[in-house]
Chains A and B, each alone.
Chain A
Amino acid sequence: MLDPVFYQFSTSTTLILLIGFYGLTFLFSTLASKKSSSVDGYMVANGAVGFGIAAASMTATWIWAASFYGAASSGYQYGLSGAMHYGFWGALMILFIYPYGQRFRELAPRARTLAEIMQARHGSSSQLILAVSNLVGSVISLMVNFTAAGALVSVLTPLSFEVGVLIAGIGVLSYTLWSGFRASILTDFAQVVAMMLVAIVLIPWIYFNMGGSEALSQGFNIITAEQADFFSTKAILEQGAPFFVAVLAYGIGNQTIAQRLFAVRKDLIKSSFITATLGYGSIVIGLGMLGMMALFMGMTPHEGDLNNLIPQVASAYLPPIAIGMLFILVIGSLSSTADSDLSALSAIVMTDIYAKNLAKGKIDNKKMLLLGRITMIVATALGLILASFSLDILVMLVFVGALWGTLVFPVIASCYWDRVTNRAFLSAVLGGLILFCLVRFEWIALIGVWASSLELIAAVGGGTVIGLMFFGFTNRNVALIAGSIVGVLCAFYFHDFLRDYTVLLGSLVAYGASTMICTAISLASNERFDFALIHERIQHFDD
């Protein structure tokens, strides 16, 4: 029986939409890029990608299905500031990474992955920590995106969840497999154009169909004071702050970003990433407004599931053709992220697993390319299986996020400070991760001296986040001053307070502990590293 809350497409319309979308994407990638026989090209294209494609690709990759659902849920839960607390901080992840991206390119113009730079700097163990965290992160991302496709198909069409998952998986693999990263960024361009056009049209369309300013203004009578406050403390602590803290972790840890940093023409990194920041922010915050508008109109999510908000709003306020556009928007967003994950996974397996570890100096390019393509097939199959059986592996994302948090300072410091050693790097990551687990899962009760100590470490973490943000755009002295001021302020405000917010406490402790350990061990060392070695150690595979 059809659910009256949601508009239902017929089976034939659904198939036309999905096959049309993936068919056109396949055609576009086939016409625009030939099958890749170059391993470097398969991973980072020509290394001189232009501004338009680079900005579009970064925007499309960073917008995944969860961006829409998450932003709308945040808008619905936290009211006026909700969408901002999701989309604004997410956009900053793109912005704050580009100064470091310029440094990565300066150190290693021929690199394909960030893990590869860590291998040239410290050796295989540091490299494999980054590589494995990315493998896990990207497989989870694939699963989440395929799950979103299945959920959308099952809500808006007569087809089953599994059919939606399968079509999305096969569709994405079909256009990414032969040309790899080249296909990924070219189709990203087409997908982002479609996504933006749809967002530009649909947001005002829904706004006016709801009754515009007059109808929505009445919503202030039914929302809470907290939801009506743009500077809501609840929204900041529960949504904004954990996202803000994750800004650098996701930028540094995620190979999909690093891959684009290594692919874009070096002098275009800044302009591409600033444009992508604006593109991501405007689309995601805009779609988050749908959740806020639903709140103001007094809507309640179907069966209490906030993920139903967007299809529910669309079904209530849009005609079928516009719902079809929204359907394509969500499918486009999840596909662009999934193809980026496939490209990231293949680059990591080709470079970090095969070339730098298994091949032992005897690299066979044909074998490497085959391995990259097999990786894509295996990863898609894994993503499909995990999504189809709705396996609950999201807890692993907590670990991956924490791991990326512990990696931020050691990775950045390794690229600027010649005293950071492999021992300092590994101890910092391990120490940070252990403390994170103790906090996040409350293995030791957060009371007394233990809790106060953790709040102090978290304050160092807060100072680290701000310090690194300043460091990217200014210099070491300004960063140290800004970081120290924020660290002291955090120490004052966190005391006897942050222990009640374990998510935020855990994330900041991961940053703080890894920074302290890495700094202490590095200062105790007499070793000095010559950064020119990184350039020498990373060569083109195609030469």
Chain B
Amino acid sequence: MLSLYILIWPVISAAVLFVIVRAFFKDMAEAKREERDIV
């Protein structure tokens, strides 16, 4: 149980990282297609 309590946080971080990076590349492709700055 203690191990799960400690190690669950990097797992959640990894999931969030995946979501953020995937969204970034999607935004970048969209901006390129529409010929505008990403921000």
Question: What residues of chain A have their CB less than 8 Å away from a CB belonging to chain B?
Answer: 32-34, 45-46, 49-53, 55-56, 59, 80, 182, 185-186, 189, 192-193, 196-197, 199-201, 203-204, 207, 212-213, 216-217, 263, 275, 278-279, 281-283, 285-286, 289, 292-293
In the complex the two chains form, what is the Cα distance from A53 to B19 in whole Å? Answer: 11
In the complex the two chains form, what is the Cα distance from A411 to B23 in whole Å? Answer: 33
Chain A: minimal CB distance from B38 (Å):
7
Chain B: minimal CB distance from A346 (Å):
16
Q: Are A56 and B2 in contact (CB under 8 A)?
A: no
- Tell me if B's interface is mostly helix, strand, loop or mixed: helix
Chain B: minimal CB distance from A57 (Å):
9
Chain B, residues 2-30, CB within 8 Å of chain A (1/0): the string is 11011101101111110111111111001
Which A residues touch B26, using CB under 8 A? 50, 52
In the complex the two chains form, what is the Cα distance from A32 to B39 in whole Å? Answer: 9
- Known: A204-B10, A216-B2. Is A52-B17 also a contact (CB below 8 A)? no
- Known: A33-B39, A45-B39, A216-B2. Is A50-B12 also a contact (CB below 8 A)? no
Interface centre among B3, B17, B25, B36, by most chain A C-beta atoms within 10 angstroms, is B17
Q: Are A56 and B20 in contact (CB under 8 A)?
A: yes
Chain A: minimal CB distance from B27 (Å):
3
Give the nearest-CB partner of B19 in chain A: A275
6 closest A-B pairs by CB: A52-B23, A286-B9, A50-B27, A52-B24, A282-B12, A45-B39
| Total B residues in contact with A, Cβ cutoff 8 Å | 28
**Neighbour of A52 across the interface among B3, B6, B14, B22, CB < 8 A:** B22
In the complex the two chains form, what is the Cα distance from A285 to B23 in whole Å? Answer: 24
Q: Are B21 and A282 in contact (CB under 8 A)?
A: no
Q: Are A278 and B12 in contact (CB under 8 A)?
A: yes
Q: Are A185 and B39 in contact (CB under 8 A)?
A: yes
Give the nearest-CB partner of A46 in chain B: B39
Q: Are A196 and B17 in contact (CB under 8 A)?
A: yes
In the complex the two chains form, what is the Cα distance from A200 to B38 in whole Å? Answer: 27
Interface centre among A52, A59, A204, A286, by most chain B C-beta atoms within 10 angstroms, is A52
Q: Are A217 and B2 in contact (CB under 8 A)?
A: yes
Interface centre among B9, B22, B36, by most chain A C-beta atoms within 10 angstroms, is B9
Q: Are A55 and B10 in contact (CB under 8 A)?
A: no
Which A residues touch B35, using CB under 8 A? none
In the complex the two chains form, what is the Cα distance from A33 to B36 in whole Å? Answer: 11
- Known: A33-B39, A293-B6. Is A275-B20 also a contact (CB below 8 A)? yes
Give the nearest-CB partner of A290 in chain B: B6
CB pairs A–B below 8 angstroms (5 shown): A50-B31, A53-B24, A212-B3, A263-B39, A281-B12
Which A residues touch B19, using CB under 8 A? 55, 275
Give the nearest-CB partner of B24 in chain A: A52
